[in-house]
Amino acid sequence: MKGYSQRVMAMQSSPIRRLQPYALQAVAEGVKVLYGNIGQPDISTPVAFAEGVVNFIKNPQASDPLAYGPSEGLPAFKEAFAAYLRRNGIDISAEQVFATSGASEALLLVLMALCDPGDEIIIPEPFYTNYRTFCAMAGVTVVPITLDWDSGFGFPSIEAFEKAITIRTRAILNCSPNNPTGSMFTRLQMKQLLELCVAKNLYLISDEVYREFVYDQEPFSVMQLPQSATHAVMIDSLSKRYSACGARIGMIVSKNLELLQQILKMSQARLCPPTLEQMAAIPLIERSDQDIIHMREIYRSRVKVLCDGLGSIEGVSCHRPKGAFYTMAKLPVDDTDKFAQYMVSSVRLEGKTLLVAPGGGFYLSPGYGQDEVRMAAVMDEESLSVAVKILAKALKSYKG
């Protein structure tokens, strides 16, 4: 038997999912696991989506057979999404929207369209750990810029980005509001970053899947900047905004139609994004603006409960998220990989345990994040309080 590719052999398993077998073992023992490790919202998907599914199925002319759609997405879906962006002050037309199977596919397609193997992408770290896998799939080298814990993972400096640019750099990839830190770059900082990209002829890939979940400022998109026409690409998704992760619908948004034409060539080979989910997403997008605001307020309250709770544990610190629903917490242990495994395997409180994501997997630079964990506020406030108690109990008993 032949071996496997160097590409796949060099990849890591997702640090977010790696401890899942230990959680399954706890479940088999009858323990309820609180999943603080993964960004899977527990809030119900707005009912407009289910109605959209039923209406589509009830219309056999549209749904039977359940056919392939256009590779760039169904026109009606693209128009609904562009209209939602315009309602939110982001001036985009349907032809500037390209539908994908989740933001995950959007990221991979954009990397594949912009980079040759060996090219470099600059990403502030800690970063969404799957970026690493997408870059590995595209043969792209990640050049990290390590953000400072003391500044709450704030904007480093434009010089830090400038210093990281080499002859192989093709783009800067930034996620704001951020997973895993909950930090945000301001409009001015994003403007500076885009200006740098224009000056150096790079792309700014702006991952905005958490755009509306912001707590101190108005939602903001790179597409609102005057220089976004040529060098900006926005990555978006229905997953978090509508609590619809399983729908697997994402979007590439760019005013650079030539870039979208290049992406189309690859997309034609994978045929199309899901037809049923796009159709059901149309009423979802048209009718759920209030649901998004409602969800934001739920998350606002939850991240406060989570961070207040974490802050009350001796030796634990975290930064209150400015957006999204994650926080990185610093723990008084030297290896959160071992600690997280210990907690989910051995610590029980009222028949419950807690799974968190060890911090090291969100950094590329070796040695960083070893005393950090990422926690997601994707459970109700009572469960978050129990989660904090489980963490406190685990820290007390941990002998690592």
Ligand X SMILES: Cc1ncc(COP(=O)(O)O)c(C=O)c1O
Residue 121 CA to residue 118 CA, distance in Å, equals: 10
Binding mask 178-217 for ligand X (x = CB under 6 A): -x---------------------------x-x--------
Nearer to ligand X, 39 or 124 (CB): 39
| Nearest approach, Cβ of residue 110 and ligand X (Å) | 12
- Long-range CB contact pairs, 134-140, < 8 A, 24+: 134/104, 134/107, 134/108, 135/111, 136/7, 136/10, 136/11, 137/7, 137/108, 137/111, 138/108, 138/111, 138/112, 139/7, 139/115, 140/111, 140/115, 140/170
| Nearest approach, Cβ of residue 102 and ligand X (Å) | 3
* Residue 174 found at the interface with ligand X (CB under 6 A): no
Near ligand X by CB under 6 A: residue from 176, 239, 243, 288: 239
* Residue 336 found at the interface with ligand X (CB under 6 A): no
* Residue 176 found at the interface with ligand X (CB under 6 A): no
Residues between 1 and 30 that touch ligand X (CB under 6 A): none
Residue 181 CA to residue 350 CA, distance in Å, equals: 29
Cis peptide before 65 (omega within 30 of 0): yes
Binding mask 38-77 for ligand X (x = CB under 6 A): -x--------------------------------------
- Return the closest-CA partner of residue 174 out of 199, 145, 149: 145
| Nearest approach, Cβ of residue 205 and ligand X (Å) | 11
Nearer to ligand X, 37 or 313 (CB): 37
| Nearest approach, Cβ of residue 245 and ligand X (Å) | 5
Nearer to ligand X, 169 or 179 (CB): 179
Residue 139 CA to residue 159 CA, distance in Å, equals: 26
> Closest residue to ligand X, Cβ-based?
102
* Residue 264 found at the interface with ligand X (CB under 6 A): no
Stretch in the footprint of ligand X (CB under 6 A) among 6-14, 98-106, 361-369, 380-388: 98-106
| Nearest approach, Cβ of residue 180 and ligand X (Å) | 8
* Residue 155 found at the interface with ligand X (CB under 6 A): no
| Nearest approach, Cβ of residue 200 and ligand X (Å) | 24
Interhelix angle for 275-287 vs 75-87, to 10°? 30
Number of residues in contact with ligand X under rule CB under 6 A: 13
| Nearest approach, Cβ of residue 83 and ligand X (Å) | 20
Q: Which residue has the tokens 């469960």?
A: 383
Binding mask 114-143 for ligand X (x = CB under 6 A): --------------x---------------
Residue 390 CA to residue 243 CA, distance in Å, equals: 26
Stretch in the footprint of ligand X (CB under 6 A) among 101-109, 111-119, 289-297, 327-335: 101-109
* Residue 245 found at the interface with ligand X (CB under 6 A): yes
Nearer to ligand X, 104 or 336 (CB): 104
Nearer to ligand X, 128 or 161 (CB): 128
* Residue 102 found at the interface with ligand X (CB under 6 A): yes
Q: Which residues are at the interface with ligand X (CB under 6 A)?
A: 39, 102-104, 128, 175, 179, 207, 209, 237, 239, 245, 250
